[in-house]
Structure 1
């Protein structure tokens, strides 16, 4: 039953980069949001976008509502930010 993907949202910025914001339910009252690098060469793994380190950090939530709030916040950072070396 777990883990279960709750929402995945891909974001592509031309040919520069492609990232996905993914939120999954890991267990009862345990949700996690991670930003993944979908670029073919995965050149942004470990880089920072907003407060997130791509594929190295996660935000946790205890409820689905809080998890969706975190997903939207991460999505905003990905849509408006630019990956930078950590």
Structure 2
């Protein structure tokens, strides 16, 4: 198994959040982009931003260009949006029902 190779890493620090967007190459046709919560206490871990679940979900890309586009989109979201908690959905019902 190959060691993941860093492609791009961007830290986003604002008054309300400390995030890192990280994109790595796993193998020739496999890149992963992840958003990490760098705040003390990980207060946004498991929340969403830009379609990512912080610290919990990665997005796969088949090419470097796709991976860099995902990275750019995640960084834009990290600057422009605030993390949102995930509301639990009950099948056929409203959240929290």
Band the TM-score falls in, shorter-chain normalisation: over 0.9
Report the counterpart of residue 3 of structure 2 in structure 1.
Answer: 2
* TM-score using structure 1 length: 0.93
Looking at structure 1, the residues matched to 84 and 6 of structure 2 have their Cα atoms a distance apart, in angstroms, of 27
The Cα RMSD (Å) is 1.0
Query: Any stretches of 5+ residues in structure 2 without a counterpart?
Result: 87-97
Query: Any stretches of 5+ residues in structure 1 without a counterpart?
Result: none
Runs of 4 or more consecutive aligned structure 1 residues displaced over 2 Å after TM superposition: none
Report the counterpart of residue 61 of structure 1 in structure 2.
Answer: 61
- How many residue pairs get matched? 85
Report the counterpart of residue 94 of structure 2 in structure 1.
Answer: none
Which structure's CA Rg is the greater one? 2
Report the counterpart of residue 17 of structure 2 in structure 1.
Answer: 17
Report the counterpart of residue 93 of structure 2 in structure 1.
Answer: none
Instruction: Map 1:20-31 to 2 at 5 A.
Output: 20-31=20-31
Deviation at 1:50, TM superposition (A): 2.2
Judging by fraction of residues, say which structure has more strand. 1
Looking at structure 2, the residues matched to 84 and 60 of structure 1 have their Cα atoms a distance apart, in angstroms, of 22
Deviation at 1:17, TM superposition (A): 1.4
Report the counterpart of residue 33 of structure 1 in structure 2.
Answer: 33
Tell me the alpha carbon deviations over residues 41-69 of structure 1, each in whole angstroms, 9 at most, x when there is no partner. Answer: 11111001121110111111111111001
Q: Does 1:47 align with 2:47?
A: yes
